[in-house]
Structure 1
């Protein structure tokens, strides 16, 4: 049975909009009057504003505000307040937790984060009186009193609860650690195409958002990193950052920062694409878009999204690779296999590439061994160097040592002559190696 909330309620829209606007406008009154300081804009203020604006936006959407000239701007202001407060909440979380993330040389990152928070605070503060004026125009009653400073304390105190649940000796399953480290390396590799090395100017930002960088793409990575963090907290370390395996917790700090930056970016890109990028053909939509752009400057919004958010996502993913690789190689199950070399043509381009892709897929260390010589099996060039030695010594078998997961797939690949016939022509690969078909 479908139940519509409040179906039998006979309170009018004009009465209810006052009820659903009350806490929202009360927040706006506080923000409009308060000094613009980071201690004023706390996580509790942001969370209160997020809940209040979400509730109001839902109420207005239910009653068709998106298709009403009188109410459309008020509705868009509520959406703007929500997205900016969610983004600011994510950045505030990073700032509050920065000391626990075990980030080296965090000075520039902190400075850019502070600049981003200042942008959020100034923009939210600029929105507040406009929201109040729009409420007056619509004859929405304003709260008698705004919130007070004491209603929004910071989450931090000078005290820390006693550490009496010890997780450092928890049975940390190597299988899960290996899986998480491998997935981190995979995410970092997939994100690599978005890396950049100098700040984008405004024209460049306009050319890549949303065509190349957009809400959908960023949210996809956000979900992947969130799943990674969830697996880590469930299967590896339950506790916080203060004790336990420093290396594991440093990796956790790395992808936690990335996750919250992606959260922030997702909200800002959604706001830009939905509210600032392209207005509809109706005059009211275009007029409201212009009004919002004056309140939330697209240049600064995209700058914080890309030159801060995207830059540091790339930075921390790249920096985390070495750490993830170390953790992976410390925890992988190692083994050794002996397999034949590619018939007729040896380790030329195709077999070398396929072996390297298998190694890169899992991320663990694997070496091709010829007597005392060892070659990196994740490097096409190294494998081809090994191929020269194999031809010179007329070998028909070689040894691979390292990550047992990788060796299992190399053994499968060797069983089909490394994906080619004796003439060097490609042949279908077994279904276990379907992932190698990507990019072939």
Structure 2
């Protein structure tokens, strides 16, 4: 047997040993003295007296975090006696962390330079901080009550006055350091703006949740709202903020472009609001949701569910949505200023040209970036941001197809200019259509083809009859004329890159008009 085996066995035995409630109670009382003192002080205050200042929040987070670690080391969440105590400690830490974010935003709001929104965000933030203080005091009171219930002797702990002194002088230090030199700002700024636009698309859940009626808040879990989705979005906004601070903050580009600090402020405030939303969603899923929550707090609630839902939906996600919309418009303006002109030649969509689906996808890409892009066909320019403009291009496309078709008919039927008897015209038209289909010059969508009752009855040559009949079959969706027509898009290279990717994917459809899966880089078009 290996020499390490006895020590491993001894460690396992020690881990499996059961500690007595009295012994554990003494341990918690000793290690949690400061936390219980703070909780007693908060519980003793009358409504409206307490204020979640940053010094107080910092002490609560430190002490609650250490206590939570201790409780988890001993498996308190699986113990009947201690599970509620552990849940209350976790809740106190959770709401204190929300208070920390609110207090941070309250102080930093003037520096964010946020664009105006419909609601009064500063006043709403003050109100939420006041209400959250009441929530923290209620959880602290419940923790003190539970401490007594598990046998902790509180009389020896005199509730001290809660330190609410957060007095700080107004103003900031002088900005007397020179600008940083950054060689990649010209590429980083468009990247930041583009990523913000991507996040604006992924933030659809914020816009949707902000419109939900209060009585339907609980029904939003787990779809579209969940801790997991909010946490992922929070992480991405944090990355965006970090990218800005690494490459743009303190540079001459930031000093010269007043929109850049505004972009940073929007990314920051959305990040902090999502932090709050994530913690509230966590509390609801872990402690209040009938389907997922632990019964220790759900059966004897301490925090009013309607109040937490109002903060989650009516404050955190609603203002996130508003600032996301403002930031989206800001980023589109930034991209227009940082545009790099370019040209891109693309094939015309093989299935019916620029009909509804290709035109809408092209226009959505252009609108997504907010840039000006034109499509050139022959000597005509079309606004690529307008599907109806692109529809009109089909008139020119179809005219060119008909001219090309006439030359192809002359190639496969040299005598097409002749006038023949009706039966001979019918046979010639049928032979021409099937010859062109066999050569791949036209794509058949229906077989057998349903020719019109005018076949063989029209006046004119074989060429004129063939062009007219094929045009009729094309108009009824039975075939499409295949050509190598191209158009030229003119605009910002970033937009052109996505248009090129779309064109390589057949503009979202195959040769028969069926949907195809778009690549991940164009995922914003799937929403």
Does the CA-based 8 Å contact 1:77-1:131 persist in structure 2?
yes
Counterpart Cα distance in 2 of 1:222 and 1:253: 15
CA contact (8 A) 1:359 1:365 kept: yes
Counterpart CA distance in 2 for 1:274 and 1:365 is 48
Partner in structure 2 of residue 95 of structure 1: 106
Compared with structure 1, are the counterparts of its residues 278 and 416 closer, same or farther at alpha carbon in structure 2 (3 Å cutoff)? closer
1:27 aligns with 2:34: no
Equivalence for 2:191: 179
Query: Is 1:136 equivalent to 2:148 in the alignment?
Result: yes
TM-score (norm 1): 0.83
User: How far off is 1:339 after superposition?
Assistant: 3.6
User: Which residues of structure 2 form unaligned runs of 5+?
Assistant: 404-484
1:219, distance to aligned residue in structure 2 (A): 1.0
**TM-score, with structure 2 as normaliser:** 0.70
Matched, 1:401 2:490: yes
CA separation in 1, counterparts of 2:112 and 2:381?
A: 37
| Shift of residue 60, structure 1, vs aligned partner | 1.0
Q: Verify: 1:333 aligned to 2:422, yes or no.
A: no
Aligned to 1:380: 387
Range that drifts further, 22-31 or 260-269: 22-31
- Asked whether 1:46 is paired with 2:57, we answer yes
- For the 8 Å contact 1:54–1:82, the answer to whether it is kept is yes
Retained in 2: the 8 A contact 1:279–1:289? no
User: Could you tell me which residue of structure 2 aligns to residue 410 of structure 1?
Assistant: 499
CA-CA distance at 1:371 after TM superposition:
7.5
Deviations 1:154-210 (A, max 9, x none): 274224212122337754522111111111111111222542497644321122133
Moved more, 134-143 or 115-124: 134-143
Residues 262-411 of structure 1 mapped to structure 2, 5 A cutoff = 262-278=274-290, 286=295, 288-291=297-300, 293=301, 295-343=302-350, 345-356=352-363, 358-359=365-366, 364-370=371-377, 374-391=381-398, 396-411=485-500
Judge which range, 197-206 or 74-83, deviates more: 197-206
Q: Distance in 1 between matches of 2:211 and 2:520?
A: 38
Moved more, 367-376 or 48-57: 367-376
Q: Take 1:288 and 1:217, find their aligned partners in 2: how far apart are those partners?
A: 24
- Contact 1:356-1:380 at 8 Å conserved across structures: yes
Residue 120 of structure 1 pairs with residue 132 of structure 2: yes
Match of 1:14 among 8, 20, 25: 25
Residues 95-131 of structure 1, C-alpha deviations (whole Å, 9 max, x = no match):
1111111124466112222221122111111222332
Q: Any conservation in 2 of the 1:359–1:406 contact (CA below 8 Å)?
A: yes
**Change over 3 Å in CA distance of 1:26–1:365 after alignment to 2:** farther
Q: CA 1:32–1:172 in structure 2 vs 1: closer, same or farther (change >3 Å)?
A: farther
Q: Which runs of 5+ in 1 are unaligned?
A: none
Query: CA offsets, 1:237-285, max 9 Å, x none?
Result: 148xx9663201101111211110000010011001100112789xxx5
Of residues 306-315 and 343-352 in structure 1, the stretch that sits farther from structure 2 once superposed is: 343-352
Q: Report the CA distance shift for 1:289/1:331 in structure 2 as closer, same or farther (over 3 A).
A: same
The separation in 2 between residues aligned to 1:323 and 1:280, in whole angstroms, is 40
Larger radius of gyration between Structure 1 and Structure 2: 2
Q: Is the 8 A contact 1:25 1:132 kept in 2?
A: yes
Within the alignment, does 1:250 sit opposite 2:247 as a pair?
Answer: no
CA 1:190–1:338: 2 relative to 1, 3 Å = same
How far residue 372 of structure 1 moved from its aligned partner, in angstroms, is: 7.9
Aligned residues: 426
Residue 233 (1) aligns with residue 245 (2): yes
Give me the whole-angstrom Cα distance separating, in 1, the residues matched to 2:209 and 2:70.
44
Matches within 5 A, 1:208-223: 208-223=220-235
Give secondary structure in 2 for the equivalent of 1:369.
strand
In structure 2, how many angstroms separate the alpha carbons of the residues matched to 1:176 and 1:363? 18
Q: Distance in 2 between matches of 1:14 and 1:220?
A: 38
CA distance in 1, matches of 2:392, 2:202: 28
Tell me the C-alpha RMSD between the 2 structures: 3.7
Distance 1:71 1:272 in 2: 21
Q: 1:155 to 1:391 in 2, by over 3 A?
A: farther
Contact 2:115–2:326 (CA under 8 A) maintained in structure 1: no
- Alignment deviations for residues 39-75 of structure 1 (CA, whole Å, 9 cap, x no partner): 8311221122112112111211221211222212211
Q: Is the 8 A contact 2:92 2:139 kept in 1?
A: yes
Give the deviation of 1:30 after TM superposition.
Answer: 3.2
